[in-house]
Amino acid sequence: MQGYLGIDVGSVSTNLVVLDQANEVQASLYLRTNGQPIKAIQDGMQIIINDLPQDIQILGVGATGSGRQLAGAVLGADTVKNEITAHAVAALTMVPGVRTILEIGGQDSKIILLRDGIVTDFAMNSVCAAGTGSFLDQQASRLMIPIEQFGGLALQSKTQVRIAGRCTVFAESDMIHKQQMGHSKEDIIRGLCEALVRNYLNNVGKGKEILATVVFQGGVAANLGIKKAFENALATEAIVPKYFNVMGAVGAALLAKEQVAHTGSTKFKGFGVAEEIFHGKSFDCSGCSNNCEIVEIRMGAEVVGRWGGRCPKWEMN
């Protein structure tokens, strides 16, 4: 079997996907990064190989996410792309004709507008945690409800309860107030879902022309309450792809396939990187007044990656 590996390293999760030549997902993995991206990458490689045929041949590797440079250095990626590009490519492949992508992850959210298969606009919100997966996890824990049941309970609501959703602090205090007033958990959860969608559309989606077909992806797309709230607010269906939580990795794999079609070879170091010892450090370059902070990754004595400079001085081929 021949395939392409995509990896999306974020602050909350590290996701891996292997696509075959027909762009079908043969294996996928969603892991918590837990503040240790190199360990998460290596653990992911050890786990995902068990879901693949022993004779698997990886023809190309793509990396995306906030830790994409690190992943690219560790694995020997053929292409390293930003999340906007990766998510757009994945959505276009999984849902042809998509014109709006709503993406909410663990600690950030973004909106991507596409017209005729081309990204024409996007916006990101990485400052406030309101509406992200980590905030929903926190509220589910406070209400003593498994996060997997959170969205389903919202759909059981019979009465609309308005929750202030512009800030995590206000949202939490308003939820507590509504609990003290005697509102049910189902109604409060529904109110929270609607508040978070309002916050997303007013901040991330502000001034954007949101047109169908709409795709909802990212880890929060598993929340049926948020999905329903988006559909009510936009008056259109929000399509959740089968691999909604690893779409960045899917896009990275697709981009790797495209890149290798041009180069004809891969830089992939093999699944053996899971057993290697990597060390990371940073230093300040004093070559000019910019004083760039350069990040360096070593595998044993070999330097496998450097980045952070504003000029090509420390770049590696």
Burial of 170-205, coded b for 16+ CB within 10 Å and e otherwise, reads: ebbebbeebeeeebbbbbbbbbbbbbbbbbbbebbb
pLDDT on residue 88: 96
Do 102 and 232 belong together in one domain? yes
Amino acid at 133: G
Do 119 and 48 belong together in one domain? no
Reported as a pLDDT band with limits 50, 70 and 90, residue 230 is: very high
Higher pLDDT, 151 or 227: 227
The answer, yes or no, to whether residue 300 has pLDDT greater than 70, is: yes
For the residues 8-19, what does the mean pLDDT come to? 92
pLDDT on residue 20: 94
Do 259 and 290 belong together in one domain? no
For the residues 210-216, what does the mean pLDDT come to? 94
pLDDT on residue 183: 77
Q: Summarize pLDDT for 34-71 with one digit per residue, the tens.
A: 888 999 999 999 999 998 988 889 999 999 998 899 99
Q: How far is CA 49 from CA 15, 222, 284, in A?
A: 14, 26, 38
Instruction: Give the per-residue SS3 of the chain.
Output: CEEEEEEEECCCEEEEEEEECCCCEEEEEEEECCCCHHHHHHHHHHHHHHHCCCCCEEEEEEEECCCHHHHHHHHCCCEECCHHHHHHHHHHHHCCCCCEEEEECCCCEEEEEEECCEEEEEEEECCCCCCCHHHHHHHHHHCCCCHHHHHHHHHCCCCCCCCCCCCHHHHHHHHHHHHHCCCCHHHHHHHHHHHHHHHHHHHCCCCCCCCCCEEEECHHHHCHHHHHHHHHHHCCCEECCCCHHHHHHHHHHHHHHHHHHHHCCCCCCCHHHHHCCEEEEEEECCCCCCCCEEEEEEECCEEEEEECCCCHHHCCC
Do 174 and 54 belong together in one domain? no
* Weakest mean pLDDT among 72-76, 85-89, 132-136, 214-218: 132-136
Reported as a pLDDT band with limits 50, 70 and 90, residue 131 is: low
Reported as a pLDDT band with limits 50, 70 and 90, residue 167 is: low
The answer, yes or no, to whether residue 8 has pLDDT greater than 70, is: yes
pLDDT on residue 4: 97
**Number of domains into which the chain is organized:** 3
Do 142 and 169 belong together in one domain? yes
The two three-digit tokens of residue 114, written as one number: 């596409």
Do 201 and 252 belong together in one domain? no
* Weakest mean pLDDT among 96-105, 175-184, 271-280: 175-184
pLDDT on residue 168: 64
Q: Which CATH number do you get for residue 74?
A: 3.30.420.40
Reported as a pLDDT band with limits 50, 70 and 90, residue 130 is: low
Do 107 and 224 belong together in one domain? yes
The two three-digit tokens of residue 211, written as one number: 């047109």
Q: Are 44 and 14 in contact (CB under 8 A)?
A: yes
Do 110 and 56 belong together in one domain? no
Cα gap 115→213, rounded to integer Å: 11
Question: What's the predicted TM-score (pTM) here?
Answer: 0.85
For the residues 203-222, what does the mean pLDDT come to? 90
For the residues 189-215, what does the mean pLDDT come to? 87
Reported as a pLDDT band with limits 50, 70 and 90, residue 9 is: very high
pLDDT on residue 55: 86
Higher pLDDT, 96 or 157: 96
pLDDT on residue 197: 87
The answer, yes or no, to whether residue 13 has pLDDT greater than 70, is: yes
Do 11 and 139 belong together in one domain? no
The closest of 85, 67, 135, 71 to 107, measured between CA atoms, is: 135
Do 229 and 132 belong together in one domain? yes
pLDDT on residue 313: 87
Do 256 and 293 belong together in one domain? no
Higher pLDDT, 143 or 44: 44
Higher pLDDT, 21 or 35: 21
Q: Are 151 and 222 in contact (CB under 8 A)?
A: yes
pLDDT on residue 166: 64
Do 129 and 141 belong together in one domain? yes
pLDDT on residue 141: 79
The residue segments making up the domain with residue 18 are 2-88+248-275
CA-based R_g, the chain, Å: 21
Cα gap 162→164, rounded to integer Å: 7
